[in-house]
Chains A and B, each alone.
Chain A
Amino acid sequence: MVMNLSKLKETNTYIIIYATVMVIIVAFLLAFISSALKPTQDANVLRDTKNQILISLNITGLKGVAIDQKFAQVVTDTIQVDDKVVYQASVDGATKYVLPVKGRGLWGGLWGYISVNDDRQHVFGTYFDHESETAGLGARIKERWFQEQFNGKPIFTDNPQQVALTVVKKGQSKAETEIDGVTGATLTSNGVADMVTNGLQAYISFLSGGDASTCSKPEGERCGKCKAGMSCDKAECGESEMVEQD
């Protein structure tokens, strides 16, 4: 026991014990902190998703519990389209649909929410976000000036079966369906272009007005599966909520 610490601490036994104890303590500490904070973090993630959907509906600036309340009030229903989910919302009395999309940026994943008007031909608002795009360059797709460029833009040009909405290099947009990209972030902008075009294309059956056989009734009630001007039997709508006929 008289052996002094400076000598003792260079022995192999001491090193192995020291390393083992240190790793066990750190492992328990991290596991404890991680599990203690998990519920709060999950709640944050869920609330953040709700906030992103609200931003795509041009409802911005909410924080905390206000997000949950507004979301419950605005988003009225979810519609199952193939294997995807469309959120049906009511903003100032008008019906909107929010379509989630996913894509690939330069460094990692991209995702976004695109809300469309009741006619399913025009964009109402968008929200885009990213996992790890470069701060100040690709990361700017998250800024409102970029997202607001999409507002009111048509999704289709001549062909109602082919989504035309896309992103091009800044200054090169010619058609109304071409949105300016972010300067200095060409690869991220290309990623957004793919995400918007292909992402919306995947909802083509929804955007073109739903299943022809379901929505061919000339008059009557209409659920979220069919677009304005088309109607369907309540029975064929499944669980989707009925929309007020204009």
Chain B
Amino acid sequence: MSKLFSNENKEVFLNPLNKNNPIAVQVLGICSALAVTSQLEPAIVMGLSVTVITAFSNVIISLLRNTIPNRIRIIVQLVVVAALVTIVSQILKAYVYDVSVALSVYVGLIITNCILMGRLEAFAMQNGPWESFLDGIGNGLGYALILVIVGFVRELLGFGTLFGFQVVPDICYEWGYQNNGMMTMPAMSLIIVGCVIWAHRSINKEEK
């Protein structure tokens, strides 16, 4: 048990949440960060789906890592990811139909998420299943964290709501406050991600 939660493994799990965040530091998975973050709810569900799929594809590739021929390793990784995404979307459709309808095309788009291929190639091909599982969970949550921050800012300023509930009081609108329609556009999430990266780098400056 002590080996499972050793300091090294803790590092594997915690690093992608902050110091090696897939979006803020590696700048991967930006495309979906733009598409699904105009409100909090799709951002959270997307973050969780990516977490689950990264974790399990990491485990499978890690188990297979010694048998995969070097020349077709990318194809093998892609097949595993595509199969997992298809299975997850089928299961969602059968057992939590509402959620699968809410996510619509975005579940399928997880296949093209660069974070998955990045982790498979950089971590799961060299490490054991348990470490790979932690790495997958850590990276998925690191990704989800940024999505939630961007979704929070965009929904609050763009719609005046959080999770669809109004949080900006009516009196502000009576005094002339207006929702910023720009925030609902995908371009604004690029600027917010930029601000997050800026803040993140100036906090972590001394550690470089």
Contacts and interface: CB of A to CB of B under 8 A. Distances in A.
Interface of B: 35-36, 38-39, 42, 66-72, 75-76, 79, 83, 86-87, 90-91, 93-95, 97, 101, 104-106, 154-155, 158-159, 181, 184-185
B90 A10 contact: no
Main secondary structure of the interface of A (DSSP, over half): helix
A134, A136, A184, most chain B CB atoms within 10 A:
A136
A34 B90 contact: yes
B35 A135 contact: yes
A183 interface: yes
Interface of A: 5, 9-10, 14-15, 18-19, 22-23, 26, 29-30, 33-34, 37, 40-41, 44-45, 48, 131-132, 134-137, 183-184
B83 to A, nearest CB: 5
Contact of A41 (B39, B93, B105, B158): B93
B67 A18 contact: yes
Given A30-B83, A48-B97, A19 B72 contact: yes
A44 B184 contact: no
A229 B86 CA distance: 55
Contacts of B95: 40
A223 B149 CA distance: 57
15 contacts: A10-B71, A14-B69, A15-B72, A18-B67, A19-B76, A26-B83, A33-B87, A34-B90, A37-B91, A37-B94, A41-B94, A135-B35, A136-B38, A136-B184, A183-B184
B60 to A, nearest CB: 11
A9 B184 contact: no
A10 B69 contact: yes
A34 to B, nearest CB: 6
Closest 5 pairs between A and B when the two form their complex, measured CB to CB: A136-B38, A37-B94, A44-B97, A40-B94, A136-B39
B116 to A, nearest CB: 16
Nearest to A45: B97
Given A34-B90, A44-B97, A136-B38, A22 B155 contact: no
Contacts of B105: 132
